[in-house]
Structure 1
Amino acid sequence: MTQREFEGQVVLVTGSSQGIGRSAAVEFARRGANVVVNYHSNPAKAEEVVDEIEKLGGKAIAVKCDVSDYDAVEAMVAKTVETFGKLDIAVSNAVYSDREFFYEADLDGFRRTIDVTMFGAFHLLRAASRQLIAQKTPGAITIISSPHAFIPAPKAMAYNMSKAAIEHMAKTAAIELSDFRIRVNIVQPGWTDTPGERKFATDDVLEEGGSKIPFGRLGTPEEMAEAIAFMSSPKNGYTTGATLLVDGGISLPWWGKTGRAAPS
């Protein structure tokens, strides 16, 4: 039986028209939440998520917003409150990333990665915090980071920088917001099988790469959604400034694997 720990709560998930964000939005709805589905450029995909949530018996709206624009993020939070009367949980998931060596990188793409991945997270953190403080209610803000925050993967400098920065941002915010009982936590999804990965690799490359991870496969968006819900849950009311790594062991020294068969 599905737990309903988010019954009556309002959740805003950025970048939730596909991938991890989509699965998170649906998982929150499955557990009783009303959900704001944010998208930047694909309204049809966002409406599919809304339809899926409504089929589950939940309520949802789709809101177009470029998270790199702070005024737009504030307007999205205002739309959330106008529609549902409040905000309880915000999940910063929206990202942008190019893959080039930094010394050859197109600087427009480099800056866009930082504007969306770093400043986009800050914009949601600030706007959601201000709303929760004004409401005088506790809440949760979950920042979606990555092992890129501590693994200097080549051809991803802007993304690596951004993920490292938002982790320090989140922990600083956790201290500053503790008096308001607003929890700020981090989830680090590992290499996950999402549509966004097709920007960089074919299905064959993803399958081969996943086979080298200690668990032998890529993660799924649904697994990451479970982690996001866990860190956002009111059941974890004493957890703030914490980081949950969900990566199938990719950040472990996988080159030292023994090759033993998994237990049956």
Structure 2
Amino acid sequence: MDPLLDFTGKVAVITGAAQGFGQLLAQELAKRGAKLVISDINEAGVLNVADQIASTGAEVIAMKCDVSKNEQCKAMVDVAVESFGRVDIGVNNAGLAHEFMPLHNIEESVMDSQFAVNVKGVQFGMRHQIEQMLQQGEGAILNVSSMAGIGGAPRGSAYSMAKHAVIGLTKTGAVEYGRHNIRINAICPFFTLTAMVTNFADEEKQGKMGLSAPMKRLGEPKEIVAMMLMMLSPLNTYMTGQCIAIDGGVSAA
């Protein structure tokens, strides 16, 4: 196996792994030798993903986790350490969107739910991953932000607010823990064909959304996960504090 993408023996914890980026990343890491603890608020869904991965011979543990609950994020790390002895990789992927609406119509309850899952959920994950990585003397964390985290998102202001906060957490964490050999980066996808998009946009709407990208299409989940793998590569040891746009050229226009 190419050493660039050889994760043999690495222990990864991934939130939001019942579908989308989390599911695909878990499957790809397992193919490359990683041991996994995967979670999702959708317990049946994440157990099904774990069964699929386990059938290939990979080591995987699945558990329910509401990332807005600090103690449940800690439990993920505890399970990884108890079962596999360490945490090499933390992927804070769980998140939720909200219905498109003008900023002046956003209710406090929408902001509360965005902050609870998309911000606190990332901080809770980072907190416990970092505590373990400090004991080990190394580790890599990847947070999932969005293009809405590095630019404006008309009619998605609460989501944009939360994803901007993920960028702040990522950069601040990278500065604080770089001296401890803990790398912290974020990935910022444009609209991608995961359930978060397909559940509210039919094919016609997806086509219109894709026209805003220079490549004139939406992203495919495998394209995002390919970059996630490279950002987490055991040989990618000097990259930290970066928030990488995977956007079909949107940020270049």
Q: Shared fold (TM-score greater than 0.5)?
A: yes
| One-letter amino acid of the counterpart of residue 148, structure 1 | A
TM-score (norm: length of structure 2)? 0.93
Cα distance in 1 for residues equivalent to 2:215 and 2:39 = 32
Task: Map 1:1-264 to 2 at 5 A.
Answer: 5-40=6-41, 42-99=42-99, 100-134=101-135, 136-253=136-253
What do the CA deviations read for 1:16-52 (whole angstroms, capped 9, x no partner)?
A: 1101111111111111101111110x22221221122
- The CA distance in 2 between the partners of 1:102 and 1:65, in whole Å, is 30
Deviations 1:167-209 (A, max 9, x none): 1211111111112101111111111000121343223211332
Indicate if the aligned counterparts of 2:13 and 2:76 stay in contact, CA closer than 8 A: no
Bigger Rg over Cα? 1
Q: How far apart, in 2, do the equivalents of 1:178 and 1:151 lie?
A: 26
Whole-angstrom CA distance in 2 between matches of 1:224 and 1:48:
22
- The TM-score normalised by the length of structure 1 is 0.89
Q: 1:109 to 1:39 in 2, by over 3 A?
A: same
CA displacement at 1:105 relative to structure 2: 2.4
The whole-number CA distance in structure 2 between the counterparts of 1:195 and 1:117 is 16
CA deviation after TM superposition for structure 1 residue 128, in Å? 0.3
Structure 2, unmatched stretches of 5+, are: none
Which has the larger displacement, 5-14 or 242-251? 242-251
Q: What is the identity percentage for the equivalent residue pairs of Structure 1 and Structure 2?
A: 35
Hey, what's the Cα distance between the residues in 2 that align with 1:244 and 1:86?
A: 27
Contact kept? 2:37, 2:79, Cα under 8 Å = no
Does structure 2 conserve the Cα–Cα contact (< 8 Å) formed by 1:186 and 1:244? yes
Q: Which moved more, 1:77-86 or 1:230-239?
A: 77-86
Gaps of 5+ in 1: 254-264
- Write out the 4+ residue segments of structure 1 that deviate beyond 4 Å after TM superposition: 1-4
Q: Which amino acid aligns with 1:182?
A: I
User: Root-mean-square deviation (CA), in Å?
Assistant: 1.7
Count of matched residue positions in the alignment of Structure 1 and Structure 2? 251
Structure 1 residue 212: Cα displacement: 4.2
Which letter maps to 2:117? V
